[in-house]
Amino acid sequence: SLDVRFLPIHRPRIGISFRAQALDLVEVRRRRTRLPTVVRLVSRSLPAGMLAPSATAPNMADPAVVAKELQVLLHGVGDRTVAIDLPMACGTPALCHFETFPTAHVEQEALLRWRLRQDEHLMAPDLALRWQAFPGAEPTSTAISILVVAIRQAILDQYHQVCEDANLIPVSMGFSTFHLLNLARSVFPTDDEVYLAHRTTEVLIVLAFRQGGPVRLRVKPTRRTNIDLKTELLQTLQYFAQDDPNRDHDAAYTTPLYLVEEGTSAAVPPKVQDQSEVWTVSEQPGWTVPVVRAQWATAPIVNTVTTPEQPPFGALACVLAA
């Protein structure tokens, strides 16, 4: 195995995403004053069943085989320092709100574990937590919202093992929707209320943001059902609005939605990709949702490579976030 002590650790230029259907790699070149430039983009399709994202069972029947696929993906890449983007379905996401939050990491983790046991009934003894904190918008407030993903240590270890077997140094290993938040923010820097919807092969995740902080989260497994995405999203937005104490139900609203689709669901005909898609949630009072689909062309990058039909937004977002 590698002796990490003597290797040059730097901010990663390479992002790799693990998905059931493929491994994706994005390499960027960073310049201080300009947007990152995408200089390499490689994808490696995986046979069905080789990688099966799950929050409860091992994700790889044989990690050594996945490591071999990873080495093929890395052919010609000299740099071994990488950012890793994990599939959302390998953990359990939750959104927690606190009036106050401790400053010590150990106490933060203990509080989150307690809350996850209470609210999500997560009792597994070997859970590792990854979280992102969003302080309240009011300067004087101590309130905080935490987006957290709980993942079983044994599942996380498989991904670490595969990276080690491929001689990689994963300086960051995080969850896809977290990484995509930054991409969504680059599209809607000023809107008061924004939705982020992330559709993967296994799950649909919808987040509502207000003044830059997450206020609602919905996670719906999609693996077994051929869901109609638009219907599902409109129902979710109505569900969010119903029990929102801050919402004026007589006022008109325009709330943009940033949509990232992965896997087979992403293969939509070009006309659907029209930038000016607007959905109507209700007529009286008017509630409209301008839908912006994630596109390689609108990402905060300079692109020098041929854009694939299904761009690897996870791999891009994790290296930009690292």
Given a cut of 80, whether residue 11 has pLDDT beyond it is: yes
Residue 111 CB burial class (10 angstroms; 0-12, 13-18, ≥19): middle
Q: Are 320 and 12 in contact (CB under 8 A)?
A: no
- What's the pLDDT tens digit per position in 61-109? 999 999 999 999 999 999 999 999 999 999 999 999 999 999 999 999 9
- What's the pLDDT tens digit per position in 295-311? 888 888 999 888 888 89
**Residues 145-175: b if buried by 16+ CB within 10 A, e if exposed:** bbbbbbbbeebbebbeebbbbbebbbebbbb
Q: Tell me, rounded to whole angstroms, the distance of Cα 65 from its chain centroid.
A: 25
Tokens 């969010």 belong to: 240
pLDDT at site 271: 47
pLDDT at site 2: 47
- Residue 107, H or E segment: helix 105-119
* 151: DSSP letter: E
pLDDT at site 112: 97
Pairing of strands 213-221, 278-282: unpaired
Whether residue 100 lies inside any domain: the answer is: no
Whether residue 306 lies inside any domain: the answer is: yes
- What's the pLDDT tens digit per position in 273-285? 555 689 998 887 8
pLDDT at site 269: 45
| Of the candidates 185, 280, 184, the residue with the CA atom closest to the CA atom of residue 238 | 280
SS3 14: strand
Residue 178 CB burial class (10 angstroms; 0-12, 13-18, ≥19): buried
Whether residue 135 lies inside any domain: the answer is: no
Whether residue 114 lies inside any domain: the answer is: no
Whether residue 311 lies inside any domain: the answer is: yes
Given a cut of 90, whether residue 184 has pLDDT beyond it is: no
The backbone torsions φ and ψ at residue 120, rounded to the nearest 5 degrees and listed phi first, read -105, -5
Where is mean pLDDT largest: 49-63, 168-182, 219-233? 49-63
Pairing of strands 193-199, 203-210: antiparallel
- What's the pLDDT tens digit per position in 97-153? 999 999 999 999 999 999 999 999 998 889 999 999 999 888 888 999 999 999 999
Q: What is d(CA 138, CA 94) in angstroms, rounded to the nearest whole number?
A: 23
DSSP 57-81: S-S-S-HHHHHHHHHHHTTT----E
Whether residue 127 lies inside any domain: the answer is: no
**One-letter amino acid for residue 300 of the chain:** P
pLDDT at site 224: 62
Whether residue 271 lies inside any domain: the answer is: yes
pTM of the model: 0.89
The backbone torsions φ and ψ at residue 15, rounded to the nearest 5 degrees and listed phi first, read -115, 135
Query: Can you give the residue range of the structural domain that contains 250?
Result: 4-90+152-321
Q: What is d(CA 291, CA 279) in angstroms, rounded to the nearest whole number?
A: 7
Whether residue 203 lies inside any domain: the answer is: yes
Given a cut of 50, whether residue 1 has pLDDT beyond it is: no
- What's the pLDDT tens digit per position in 141-151? 899 999 999 99
CATH code of the domain containing 315: 3.30.420.40
Total number of domains in the chain: 1
Pair of tokens at residue 182: 């930054």
Q: What is d(CA 148, CA 162) in angstroms, rounded to the nearest whole number?
A: 24
Given a cut of 70, whether residue 55 has pLDDT beyond it is: yes
Mean pLDDT of all residues belonging to the chain: 89
